[in-house]
Amino acid sequence: MQQDSNLPRAPARAIVKGAFVLGAAAIVSKLLGTLQKIPLQNVAGDGVFGIYNAVYPLYTLILFLATAGLPVAVSRFVAEEMTDGSADGARGVVKMALTISVGTGLFCFILLYAGAGTIASWIGNGQTEDALRSVSFALLFVPWLATLRGYFQGLGDMVPTGVSQVTEQLIRVAVMVALLFILIGMGASDGTIAAGATFGSAAGALAGLIVMAAYWYVHTRRRKRNVPGEGSVPPVRPRSGRRVSYKAFIAYALPICLGSAVLPILTLADTFTVPRLLQQGGLGEAEAMAQFGLYNHGLPLIQLVAMIVSSMSVALVPVIAAARARGTLADVRGSAEASLRLVWLIGLAASAGMAVTAIPLNVMFYKEAAGYGTMMILSFTAVFSVVQIVSGTILQGLGAERATAYFLLFAAALKIILNIWLVPRYGIAGAAVSAVAAYALAAGLSLFRLRSFGFVRLSVRTLALKPLLATAIMVVATAAVVFASDEAIAALFPGFSYRWRQTFVALISVAAGAAVFGIALFRTGALGAADLAAVPKVGAKLLPLLRKWRIVSH
């Protein structure tokens, strides 16, 4: 095999640049992916919104099963081959990964496209059939995309992945919005409009693949000319490559794939139960799907809170894993406990704040207040989901990542059982209650597992008394601001539409509630400077500002 003996080590500046671009791209991509649902509902209505939210979790699950382990597995084996000086071996890994993933993706595409009618009958709504077929086309492109991303990550070059992620989401949203307006203008049915919306995923995946193909083309030409490139790795012990076997590759990628698929299963529990159970409760097919759309009003905001917490918790894994390897876990226990306390407080504020401002938020994002009661209930999944995210992250650092997957599976089972019991009786409010219970179970089991490790020691008094007092203060203050600002804006600006008025009420109330909660935490002693300082990265940035504003003492 040909050896690339002139490949220099990537400079540290390039690695830092790549990591920064990838991190920023991940945040932008998640924001676009989360918030795109709001214009979808605004333009197309709750019927289309319900169909979209019924179909997309199933696509996500199949996508994870087909490709979730690819980038990590490819990057690992490519890095090993390049460390041995075998560029041909690295390209061999890419060919092997493509053989597996393209075959799997094609199989899943055929399964989803040909079985769309059957799956739609399982969901209990025939209008989902076209959307299922539409989104299936993404499975033809994503395997190539995931493999090429893994290759460049294995070289230490994160920029192609970051650029392709942002491009993918931008094109996805642009195509979705364009098709929405075109199909609505043509007077298409809700099922056809939803199919247009889901086709954005295929268009986005194709756009991301084109970006990655361009990077691959430039990289290949550079290598042939023996021109050093960013992310290159020098040979340490020139050899002909490790010749990674299919068995070794699959054995490494499969657990990652299955672990990634667990969370979509929890979301998918609603897809296959709520629409059908609503019909059992007496609703027609179209009305049931519209109600399912109302049920999903609060999810983008909850997912946004979860996304912020996920980005905060990333720093915990390497810190805990390194301490575990050194046998010095006691040194990082304080950071883990402080992180859990902080996200508990953030979750409390988010849940209580969303509940109090449910009406103005609903009107601001979705034009009307319909479904605000369900949104109030569903908002309390935020506090349990963020606790589950961080406790699961800590378990991962401790080497107990399987426990988190099991706990989420238990939560999904509870969600299904409670849906069957509650939805026919109480409609989407029952589904919201079961969601809160399911996430509470996952969070509680994760915390219990951490306590069994002896790694965290959080008392009920620490988590309940003072934080709940601060939350109560925030709720009273926010409710007062909601009422007062609504009256004031109506009196001062009588020409404002109801939606504009509620938009200003929502923004003012959320800002006021966040400020009151932050001050109440420190004034009640629920949070101290030492607690904040113990949180990796976050505390060091916030403390100087809080001291400057005299919210905390020196």
Confidence of residue 7 (pLDDT cuts 50, 70, 90): very low
pLDDT tens digits, one per residue of 132-171: 999 999 999 988 998 888 888 777 777 888 888 889 989 9
Name the nearest CA neighbour of 393 among 437, 433, 461, 336.
336
- Which pLDDT score is estimated for 379? 93
The token pair at 471 is 């939350």
Confidence of residue 15 (pLDDT cuts 50, 70, 90): very low
Domain coordinates in residue numbering, the chain: 13-228+243-272, 459-548
The token pair at 167 is 């491009």
Mean pLDDT of the chain: 80
- How far is residue 60's CA from residue 72's CA, in Å, rounded to a whole number? 18
pLDDT tens digits, one per residue of 315-343: 565 566 666 666 666 666 777 777 788 78
The DSSP secondary-structure symbol of 367 reads: S
Confidence of residue 223 (pLDDT cuts 50, 70, 90): confident
pTM of the model: 0.78
Give percent of the chain with pLDDT exceeding 90.
31
Which range, of 12-16, 320-324, 549-553, averages the lowest pLDDT? 12-16
Name the nearest CA neighbour of 229 among 333, 138, 157.
157
- How far is residue 441's CA from residue 443's CA, in Å, rounded to a whole number? 5
pLDDT tens digits, one per residue of 281-291: 888 888 989 99
- Which pLDDT score is estimated for 204? 92
Residues 6+ apart with CB under 8 A from 87: 2, 3, 4, 7, 81, 223
The token pair at 541 is 């940035």
| Average pLDDT rounded to a whole number, residues 447-458 | 79
